[in-house]
Amino acid sequence: MKIPDLTNYENLIGGICGGATSTALCHPFDLLKTRFSANEGHPLRPQYTSYADAVRRIVRVEGVRGLYQGWTPGLIGASLSWGLYFQWYNSLSTKINEGFSTGSEFANNLISGFIAGSAIMCITNPIWLTKTRLCLQYENQASKKYTGMIDCMRKTVQQEGFFGLYRGFVTGVIGTTHGAVQIAAYGWIKDTISEARGVPKESFSKQTDIMFASSTSKIIATTVTFPYQVLRTRMQDHNSNSRGVLQTTLKTIRNEGVTGLWKGCFIANFRQLPAAVITFLTYENVKQLVALTKE
């Protein structure tokens, strides 16, 4: 049986595979990042002394399964987000570079990344909200408010209305600058390496180069834009009454100082670095496999 030509969807397929693979392997790090980012010192939360202490206490009460709370919406959200992001980003960047160029390819790519990310956030915000809330169901609580992704969505709509699913949406849109910085930096690093070696950009396929480009771009993007992740986590947390972006920002700075906006940044880099490498390695290699369908 002849395999149909799927090259028009190589970015979509590669992104879905990359997002799914990284989430399957790295979700426990994401859970820890979410918990440390949300922790403003409230007594209802377990006060972990370290990341190792958090793992030990979660596993003691809930087993290894406790490290995978929120895994289902995380898997769906990452697969959908990365698939659509790579597909729409590449389409937009081609159109902008050809017809509406700012004169800088890096700036064009930033714009493409921001537009693609904002559009995707309109679709995926409810999924990320449920992931956050499931991750913030602690082992020291007598009972869990949500039994799963669908139950969380249903109860959120019942108690907060449909737009309750879009808590943290503004910070999510602001956070699309993270993806824009990452993808633009990744593209710039790829182009720089290819140019230094005197090879076409399309031939960028050396595994070590992909690892270097993806890890470097991720560290830059995560560190520079991390405050939005703290604010978004706290606004989506069902255990607190945080509402607006400004209110949450001022409250965090007042109680924890400016460094409170980077709470969880270390574990975020620790978690997101392997996730980014896995995502981009999978994406680039799946793209090459999909390209074979043209033959």
pLDDT per residue of the chain (295 residues) written in tens, 0 to 9: 567 778 888 999 999 999 999 999 989 988 998 888 888 777 788 888 888 999 999 999 999 999 999 999 999 999 999 999 999 998 998 888 777 656 677 888 888 989 999 999 999 999 999 999 999 998 888 788 899 999 999 999 999 999 999 988 888 888 888 888 898 899 889 888 888 887 776 666 688 888 999 999 999 998 888 888 888 878 777 777 666 778 888 888 888 888 888 887 887 787 778 888 999 999 989 988 888 887 6
In a domain, 1, yes or no: no
| Of the candidates 150, 152, 154, 159, the residue with the CA atom closest to the CA atom of residue 134 | 152
In a domain, 92, yes or no: yes
pTM of the predicted structure, to 2 decimals? 0.80
In a domain, 278, yes or no: yes
Residue span of the structural domain in which 118 resides? 7-294
Contact 43, 50 (CB under 8 A): no
In a domain, 2, yes or no: no
Contact 245, 171 (CB under 8 A): yes
Give me the number of domains the chain comprises.
Answer: 1
In a domain, 173, yes or no: yes
How many Cα atoms occupy the beta-carbon half-sphere of 62 within 13 Å? 19
CA distances from 199 to 175, 283, 287 (A): 34, 21, 19
In a domain, 158, yes or no: yes
One-character DSSP codes across 172-197: HHHHHHHHHHHHHHHHHHHHHHHHHH
In a domain, 234, yes or no: yes
Contact 62, 167 (CB under 8 A): no
CATH, residue 240: 1.50.40.10
Distance linking the first and last C-alpha atoms of the chain: 13
